[in-house]
Amino acid sequence: MLPLTAENKRVAQLLLSTGTCPRCIFRFCGVDFHAPYKLPYKELLSELQKFLEAEEDELVSEVPNPPPKKIRLQEPEDRIDGMDSLSQNGEGKLSVTEDGSSSSKNSNLNVCNVCLGILQDFCEKEFIKKQSLSLGRNDIVQLKEAYKWITHPLFSEELGVPIDGKSLFEVSVVFAHPETVEDCHFLSAICPDCFKPAKNKQSVFTRMAVMKALNKIKEEDFRKQFPCPPDSPKAVCTVLEIECAHGAVFVAGRYNKYSRNLPQTPWIIDGERKLESSVEELISDHLLKVFKAESFNFSSSGREDVDVRTLGNGRPFAIELVNPHRVHFTSQEIKELQQKINNSSNKIQVRDLQLVTREAIGHMKEGEEEKTKTYSALIWTNKAIQRKDIEFLDDIKDLKIDQKTPLRVLHRRPLAVRTRIIHSMETRYVDEHHFRLSLKTQAGTYIKEFVHGDFGRTKPNIGSLMDVTADILELDVESQVVHFGKYLIKNSPPAHNKREGGNFCTWESSQYK
């Protein structure tokens, strides 16, 4: 028994007569449970014909002065408006015979006129509305959903595992249909603003772009270019390839950087590499091998300059591993991986390495403005100074400064004036031209510019406060206080570190244990 009601009969008959397959008829009638879609095509077609024959007298009585012999609904004298664009050989057309039965001629050999493309699906829906027929509901079942309902049992049987719609393991099937591949190209001439090239798109004819154009195009312009209802294709689509892939896995932790000659990410200018390695590569190279991933994406909570060390509890980072071929690791294996990274270089150290959720990564960059950071700087002055000349800096609290975008980053940052807060400072006298300055500041403060002033672009600055010319010789990030919303930060036991001590921290999520 088909899951169709009496109100679906007119729509079902109209769709079948235009060459639409039974499963697409279910979609248009809003059948949103799986079982009917899984039935064999011939069985579906037979059941559909029985459904239409059940009250065929009603259909015949609606035709004015029906002839006693069999009639064809597509014939000019009594066709429904808009059905003159059916396939030329007459395949797939519904007939009402003299004995009251209905048939779809050669329909078991037909290719559906709807399920091969966006345009076909769109104009068939509009065609039904033109006939003043209700689809019964607005939310037509999407083709991809029906496809899943049909193929999931097949994959499950073949692979011998149950199907889980939330699984990170995905099987992608790529189809090709040369006959209809250029159907939507006419839209780019009529709505060129909808089809703009993008970096990562192989074609401008994306689903979103086509749907945007279909919402803008005038009906008369569309009907000049595309038949409504759509013609039945002559050939079926072919499978180009089947790809198996695993959803991305995310690894997070904190890193310390001990080198003053190491960028965070590969330093490449005009295609030329400036330094041989980077923090990103020293960590990710090991992860790629162990997780057997195709590629990765590196992100962190802020970044340091190439000549700045990151000490203390380290900088939070996360790496997205794309299509990993191994995803299950014990906590001991993760610890061994962390140790392997740390043994491979004396330029960096990693701590608190762990698997996290995608959601946790999003929280890493929350509240950038509210974070506080502690720095240590070695400062030079042009004038000779005494210990008393720097002591007043210790008494300054929550100093507001205005920083115009520094000259050194103006090529990649918008020009703006940003207000930042220097929460506290602590000085340590070295000699008459040098002193150490420890600062606790709002995240996003340009420390180098706060020291030398950047030609007056940062006001006030250490130079103006001391009435000297000041410059920074060394800078270290000592610690970062980072809050991750509902992701808690807790201190973990300190590990042996020959360079720096300090507290460690880990992410903890209620969704991932």
**Could you list the active site residues?**
305
Give, in order, the Cα–Cα distances in Å from 423 to each of 435, 461, 496: 19, 14, 31
- CA atoms of 108 and 111, how far apart (whole Å): 9
Cis peptide before 178 (omega within 30 of 0): no
Per the listing, tokens 């590499």 go with 273
Closest residue by Cα to residue 179 from 115, 122, 117, 233: 233
Written as six digits, the tokens of 466 are: 């001391």
Residue 458 in contact with residue 402, Cβ under 8 Å?
Answer: yes
Contacts (Cβ under 8 Å, ≥6 apart) of 66: 60, 78
Region for 136 from its dihedrals, namely left if φ exceeds 0, alpha if ψ lies in -120 to 50, beta otherwise: left
Contacts (Cβ under 8 Å, ≥6 apart) of 350: 253, 254, 255, 256, 283, 338, 341, 342
What angle is formed at CA 293 by the lines to CA 291 and CA 294, rounded to 5 degrees?
170
Closest residue by Cα to residue 254 from 507, 69, 475, 46: 507
Tell me if residue 298 falls in helix, strand or coil: strand
Tell me if residue 358 falls in helix, strand or coil: helix
Element holding 441 (H helix, E strand): strand 434-442
Pairing of strands 268-269, 249-257: unpaired
Rg (CA), the chain: 34
Pairing of strands 309-322, 470-481: parallel
Written as six digits, the tokens of 459 are: 């006001």
- CA atoms of 51 and 54, how far apart (whole Å): 5
Q: Which residues pair with 350 in a beta bridge?
A: 255
Residue 316 in contact with residue 364, Cβ under 8 Å?
Answer: yes
Which residues of 122-197 form beta strands (DSSP E)?
Answer: 169-176
